[in-house]
Amino acid sequence: MTDGFTRIEALPAKAARAEYQIEDVLGRRWSPRAFSARPVGQEKLLRLFEAARWAPSSGNDQLWSFVVATAKNPVEHERLASCLNERNRRWAGRAPVLMLSVARMRFARNGRENRHAFHDLGLAVGNMLAQATAMGLYVHQMAGFDRDAARRKLGIPEEHEPVAAIAIGYPGDLGDLPDDLRKRELAPRERKPVAEFAFSERWGRTMLQDDADHDSGGR
Ligand SMILES: Cc1cc2nc3c(=O)[nH]c(=O)nc-3n(C[C@H](O)[C@H](O)[C@H](O)COP(=O)(O)O)c2cc1C
């Protein structure tokens, strides 16, 4: 496992240990730091944006935007990488695709504040994550970037908010990572149990599984 050449898609610690059954693309997704240099073609990128496009949004405002730079154009790729903080830049600078997600914070139709802007952008990125996973791509989102630098260097207009930097690519080799990051890559994925955040009827009331009210629909 630590021979330095382990393919990250084969890491057993990374599969979701689900309490209840979920779809494969949700369980297989995780946020790696070891990306292969293999380029991601334009058509694949457009499929990711197509997935984002069909996300729901408040008032169907579709407030999301993405600025993309690929390693095909090293100058532009470096421009986006230079907005990342040092910790992220160490590994994300090697991902063949970097993006910045951007939210318009006011409704296009009336200029009113959109309190759900981040929520809706997150839904679009969520769609992208599922699509990417189904296509064998991995995605790692980052809060660790300089918002002002991103705004300035990428020309983001005033009424739009830079939200997250995103690295995308095919899985790479653990051996490409420095020791400390390799260790994190091998750590199991941890989650709170469902009972800690899904409440029944009132805040704080645990949802207990009730065998008596089985749902016969769906799968
Ligand atoms: C909005 C957002 C910001 C994040 N920022 C960073 C970051 O700056 N650096 C980093 O290494 N990981 C970052 N992450 C990745 C999270 O740490 C990761 O999703 C979380 O630990 C769960 O791991 P998993 O995605 O592998 O399931 C971010 C994730 C999200 C959704």
CATH number of the domain that residue 157 is part of: 3.40.109.10
137 pLDDT higher than 90:
yes
pLDDT digits (tens, 9 = 90+) for 34-59: 999 999 999 999 999 999 999 999 99
Q: Which of 140, 166, 185 to mutate to test the pocket of ligand 1 (most atoms within 8 A of CB)?
A: 140
**CA separation (Å) from 75 to 69, 80, 82, 148?**
9, 9, 10, 19
Cα–ligand 1 centroid distance for 160 (angstroms):
22
Q: Is residue 206 part of a domain?
A: no
Q: Which of 141, 168, 184 to mutate to test the pocket of ligand 1 (most atoms within 8 A of CB)?
A: 141
Q: Is residue 169 part of a domain?
A: yes
Ligand 1 pocket: which residues have CB below 6 Å? 30-31, 88, 141-144, 164, 189
Q: What is the pLDDT of residue 212?
A: 56
> Which ligand 1 atom is at minimum distance from the Cα of 16?
27
Q: Which domain holds residue 176?
A: 8-193
pTM, to two decimals: 0.94
What mean pLDDT do residues 132-159 have?
A: 98
**The total number of structural domains that make up the chain:** 1
Q: What is the pLDDT of residue 4?
A: 41
Q: Is residue 219 part of a domain?
A: no
Q: Is residue 216 part of a domain?
A: no
Could you tell me the pLDDT band of residue 12, with boundaries at 50, 70 and 90?
confident
pLDDT digits (tens, 9 = 90+) for 18-29: 999 999 999 999
